[in-house]
Chains A and B, each alone.
Chain A
């Protein structure tokens, strides 16, 4: 691999791999949650084996961790440190910079799935008739939606405030997103909010495509697609390179 785009992708992946906090966020926490809650049956998952509920939810969490939080925090600090400004004076250009960031998200997600799916299988996950192709489509939509949210925050807020905002949002979307806590366990008001969130929609769609166990798949597809269209538009309007 050579040329500006390939070099930028390599550089982006190197920085993620070298950043302990990002590795914890993108791999450590999802693996920990998957292993812990599937072996310690404390969640009201409503399934015979908690792994059947958890595995698709944790895959959705992994997508959110990478496409929103990791990308958003990294990009926010790059703005603060004038990295984006410096790159703006190279032949890379905005188009290839964005393409490199997308590619680095894809690479990290591939690594996440290469770790999480075998771990889930090892923990007893056996989806009856998984549609991996449809699940891939959901992951793409989810990645776009979360990247738009992450970049909207990163493109406006100062580095430290962006860090706090991304982590706060991550926690809210994790708890309300049907990833580890089923929608039905939430109070009615929160349930309504949760179904409109991208995290809830992605978790539900993945549960439907992989385990045929979505609660409202049609609505979730629409919600997910809506976020995938709207959030990049917002990011484009809000984002400042410096």
Chain B
């Protein structure tokens, strides 16, 4: 929970499920270069929307337009019903931003900085409580330059929370954060969404997106190539993945079981199949007969990382969940 102080914070109705961010036909050009071409997607209140894509895919430019840092070359963007370019002051009162670069002076102390941002937003958030909420109470007197990478991320997140945001744009929130720090950040992000905030998460960490996101938007070469829930993106791509020795005879496996295994390297194999117990039994039975070890086994929906590879690799499958 975002801690409040004194009188009731800016009480707001819970708009869970309604549209918070609406991007329609957005194009961003830098001179001759078209960084974003005709992108459309939505982010909803009470949901975590992960914006994924390789470097240079256009996600940062898109989010910077949503935050009001950049003007669109073409298209329409509305955040909380406001135009981020012309209504940035009004929008900033209700929007939390976490920059990847931090945006904090090296000599600024943790507690001072959080209190300062709470005062800038004036949304009734208690700075000291916020420091505790992100797990930095023992580092409250430390300056930014003395914080570890993970502590810096948590401080940056605290500044976004100081807005008691209705929409939050978080850029790589778990980058460089240790396991415990990640747990803290995940809890905070989930709490934010549970309170009705629309969380837009830009990240390269697919595992993190898989754990947190309700909705995924994948960018590639300036366009949105997939937009949907994780289940929608994975649909039709079930698999059985196992690890054994690198030398198994795949032809013999196919002949004996009808299962076609694709090698992934390092003794790992993938079989495109529904996660049926009988199929798994055929596979493990054959491995046992051949005396091959079973070092790892996973059956079910494709991982987000594989969805991402499939959709963003040249010549990959045509995305099924594109808007």
Contacts and interface: CB of A to CB of B under 8 A. Distances in A.
B105 A88 contact: no
Contacts of B122: 3-4, 91
Interface string A55-95: 00000000000000000000001100111011111111100
Contacts of B163: 90
A191 B19 CA distance: 67
Contacts of A86: 97, 99, 102-104, 159
B173 interface: no
B284 to A, nearest CB: 53
A14 B115 CA distance: 13
Contacts of A77: 105-106
B117 A90 contact: yes
B220 interface: no
A90 B121 contact: yes
Interface in A116-136: none
A92 B120 contact: yes
Given A89-B67, A89-B68, A93-B89, A82 B102 contact: yes
Interface string B77-115: 000000000000100110101010111111110001101
Contact of A7 (B106, B107, B108, B116): B116
A14 to B, nearest CB: 6
Given A89-B68, A93-B89, A83 B121 contact: no
B99 A4 contact: no
A18 interface: yes
A8 B118 CA distance: 11
Contact of B104 (A18, A81, A90, A92): A81
Nearest to A16: B107
Nearest to A89: B97
Contact of B93 (A3, A82, A91): A91
A127 to B, nearest CB: 38
B188 interface: no
Contact of B116 (A8, A81, A89, A242): A8
Nearest to B93: A91
Contacts of B113: 11
A15 interface: yes
Nearest to A241: B69
A174 B101 CA distance: 36
How many A residues are at the interface, by size bracket? 20 to 34
A19 interface: yes
Contact of B102 (A18, A81, A90): A81
B119 interface: yes
Interface in A1-50: 2-4, 6-8, 10-11, 14-15, 18-19
Contacts of B102: 81-82, 86
A82 B120 contact: no
Nearest to A10: B116
Contacts of A91: 89, 92-93, 120-122
A4 B120 contact: yes
A2 B99 contact: no
Given A4-B119, A91-B121, A15 B108 contact: yes
Nearest to B160: A89
A201 to B, nearest CB: 33
Given A88-B69, A89-B97, A83 B120 contact: no
A29 B110 CA distance: 30
A7 B99 contact: no
Contacts of B95: 89
B99 A82 contact: yes
A82 B107 CA distance: 14
Contacts of B106: 77, 81
Contacts of B99: 82, 85-86
B50 to A, nearest CB: 20
A89 B159 CA distance: 11
B48 to A, nearest CB: 20
A2 B89 CA distance: 19
Contacts of A15: 105, 107-108
11 contacts: A4-B122, A14-B112, A77-B106, A78-B105, A82-B103, A83-B103, A85-B103, A86-B104, A89-B69, A89-B95, A90-B117
Shortest beta-carbon contacts, A-B, top 8: A86-B103, A7-B119, A89-B97, A82-B103, A82-B101, A90-B120, A11-B116, A91-B93
Given A87-B120, A89-B69, A89-B92, 10 more contacts: A11-B112, A81-B104, A82-B103, A85-B69, A85-B101, A86-B159, A89-B67, A89-B95, A90-B121, A242-B69
